[in-house]
Structure formats: structure tokens, C-alpha cells
Amino acid sequence: MVKLTMIARVTDGLPLAEGLDDGRDQKDAEFYKQQAKLLFKNLSKGHNEASRMSIETGPYFFHYIIEGRVCYLTMCDRSYPKKLAFQYLEDLKNEFEKVNGNQIETAARPYAFIKFDTFIQKTKKLYLDTRTQRNLAKLNDELYEVHQIMTRNVQEVLGVGEKLDQVSEMSSRLTSESRIYADKAKDLNRQALIRKWAPVAIVIGVVLLLFWVRKKIW
């Protein structure tokens, strides 16, 4: 099943359009959107030259195609047929080029073609059920092969394996420091209470002591 669809300009990584999903059927939706944006950023720097690629990320696969300096990317369940995912992207590419082709280079703001979401949603529904006659025909189409499309891991592609470890380490350190800070704050509050009430306790103690001594003498 298609979970996420994004289109971006390769030259600068600018997001041009996106399939607007509410994210209720998918945990960590924002996390994967950020990964997709990092992929676009890397592509804009020329780090990945493959025009078609599948990228493993958690329980999903990113699939993308690059055509005319535009990257068409989708994220699907691991079980979703790779062949259908790329044909879905081909359909998006053909329509996007036809409708917005002459405006892509001049787009100046993110999601300048957000209205393309209507076509994305309509096309996604066609690819929802892999068992329809239409999709079975596409799966059996021998002229469209995806076996040679490279598959890589998202950390390998982004080159962030080490950075992710650093982020994790930093997060642990911040958590530890937060605990230390909380303990220190408690100590300071305790000391402040002692300073505030100690003189009162001493005076009460002296008064009681005098009262007791006086009682003993008399």
C-alpha cells in the first residue's frame, strides 16, 4: 500500500507537491517525511546518481524516479509490489510533466503545485488493491522490469549511520544531564527550606528548653 508521495526539484531539493494524508493509519508519519526531505537534499548535492532506486527504511520502502530534474518519490509497505510502485510513479511523472512542466524551473516557494494532490489521490486509489485486473495486468507486463533497480538502506544512502548514533548518544546525555539538574534543583529547594525555617525551629527549641528548665527549677 502507498503510504506517502512527494515530488521535489532535484537541483535544490525544493518540495513541489505532496500527497496530503492525515497520517492516522501510519505511526511516525512525520519522521518518514523528514527522511524523504533528507533524501531530496542529498540528491540536490549529487550524492546519488541513480535515476531509479528503492531504499529500505524500517517496515517500508522508499521508491523514487528522477526525470527532467524532478524526483518522484513514494513510500510503500515492504509487501507492496515494487513493479506497481514504479508504475505508479511513472503515472505521476507523466501527468506532472504535462500539467506543470513549463513552471517547474521557476517555482520559488515550497509546494507550489499542491493542487496536484488531487491527481495523486485519484491515482493512488487505482493502485490500492494489487489484485484488480488492471494491476495484475501491470504486474504481468514483461516490458516493464524493475529487477535491475538498485535497493539500498536509508542510512547507507543518507550517510547518517554515524550521525544517528551521535544523536542517540546526545539524547542519552541530555536525559542524564536533565536528571542531574532535577536532583540539584531538589537539593537547592531543600536547602532553601532549611535556611527559611531553621531560625524559627531554633527559637522554638530555645523557648521550649527554657520552659523545661524553669519547670524543673520550680
Average pLDDT value for residue range 132-147: 75
pLDDT for 49 beyond 60: yes
Residue 167 has pLDDT above 50, yes or no: no
60 or 46, which is more confident: 60
- For residues 52 and 93, the answer to whether their CB atoms sit within 8 Å is no
| pLDDT tens digits, one per residue of 55-105 | 999 899 999 999 989 999 999 999 999 989 999 999 999 999 999 989 999
- Confirm whether pTM is higher than 0.85: no
Beta bridge partners of 61: 56, 76
pLDDT band at 210 (very low <50, low <70, confident <90, very high): confident
- pLDDT value at position 129? 83
Kindly tell me the burial class for residue 32, based on how many C-beta atoms sit within 10 Å of its own C-beta (0-12, 13-18, 19 or more).
Answer: buried
Q: Are 138 and 83 in contact (CB under 8 A)?
A: yes
Cβ contacts of 179 within 8 Å, gap of 6 or more? none
104 touches 68 (CB < 8 A): yes
Residue 100: name the closest of 114, 113, 87, 118 by CA.
Answer: 113
- Give the burial string for 119-131 (b: 16+ CB within 10 Å, else e): bbeebbeebeeee
